[in-house]
A = this chain, B = another copy of it.
């Protein structure tokens, strides 16, 4: 009988620990897995034999489903391409010593690359150890799945926060241009989600996503038009806007440990420029780290699905299958999904952009198709506001 190891990789989300909980439950419910270990600090845990035995009954770990962060510790560590490298020998040492037959890698696209390399390595040496990927990302940029756990909770936080910010911003008669910045390394999935606040009449006027090349001229035109009409403008921008030549609008040119460019504070930059060039008062709000760890307002669907992808990873592994668990949508209304094993290579390193039909024609907002896609995540009955700006709109 073999043991299993689970590790977390890449940036934390509100629900990655829910997937950990799903793995714990499924491993304890199936007698074919003896012990479950958690590797501390992602792949480093395997390289350094830094494992924690998960030996209490799963009920004791239920609080994991309410916790943001990455409770085992995470890392942004890539495996080299050549299986001759030291790192693979170290992983093999650890796997042998702990009699590991199953490795569960919970991460984003870079981490699925790691999972894929490990799988191919074990096959290349004919060693009996299966690797199954468990997706997570707040950015929602993983290919070949409807969405990834982590995204839905951000959608809910961003939607409710936009509603609250709008109520606050609308309090004054003389308005400003407020520029609100979401995360999203390459894509506009998070920025776009702010549009759901408009279903409660408390959302942004304009949304700019990296999928549409950013033009300062068009941006200024949009702002001037709405400011003239309403006396205030609420703008949401993704951190990673690029101009028509593909250059980031705001970047400090440093690289993170995955080799990605670190993005600068685009909301501050644009707010300063609007004030200077258009002479309108501005304010900027960066939703920052807060948006990805706001587990107190986690989406109930997101938590449930995060647990399910963890459980399904164990199920597929016990069927002798490697790959990555993906969520596929059957219908939006009523919301229904299924869990399907996908190909790691098709997820690793790729980026899923917002499809063009999710963005409005002008490129400064979203379409009905996007709203239908994202609406299921927000627990509408819980966060809705019906009173809106009733009093200040009424004469």
Contacts and interface: CB of A to CB of B under 8 A. Distances in A.
A161 interface: yes
Interface of A: 8, 11-12, 38, 40-41, 44, 52, 61, 63-64, 66-76, 160-161, 164-173, 265, 268, 283, 285-290, 292-297, 383, 385-387, 389-392, 394
B394 A164 contact: no
Contacts of A296: 160, 164, 297, 383
Contact of A73 (B61, B171, B386, B387): B171
A290 B297 contact: no
Which are the 3 A-B pairs with shortest beta-carbon distances? Answer: A69-B167, A70-B171, A168-B293
A167 B289 contact: no
B69 A171 contact: yes
Contacts of A64: 387
Contacts of A69: 164, 166-168, 170-171, 389
Nearest to A156: B296
Given A63-B386, A69-B164, A69-B168, A75 B173 contact: yes
Given A172-B74, A289-B165, A292-B168, A391 B52 contact: yes
B68 A295 contact: no
B290 A283 contact: no
A356 to B, nearest CB: 31
A68 B161 CA distance: 10
Contacts of A74: 171-172
Instruction: Name, among A75, A285, A288, A390, the residue most crowded by chain B CB atoms within 10 Å (CB to CB).
Output: A288
Contacts of A12: 167-168, 171
Contact of A63 (B67, B70, B171, B385): B385
B289 A168 contact: yes
A49 B391 CA distance: 15
A291 to B, nearest CB: 9
Contact of A290 (B11, B61, B170, B287): B287
B289 A44 contact: no
B165 A293 contact: yes
Nearest to A172: B74
A285 B76 CA distance: 21
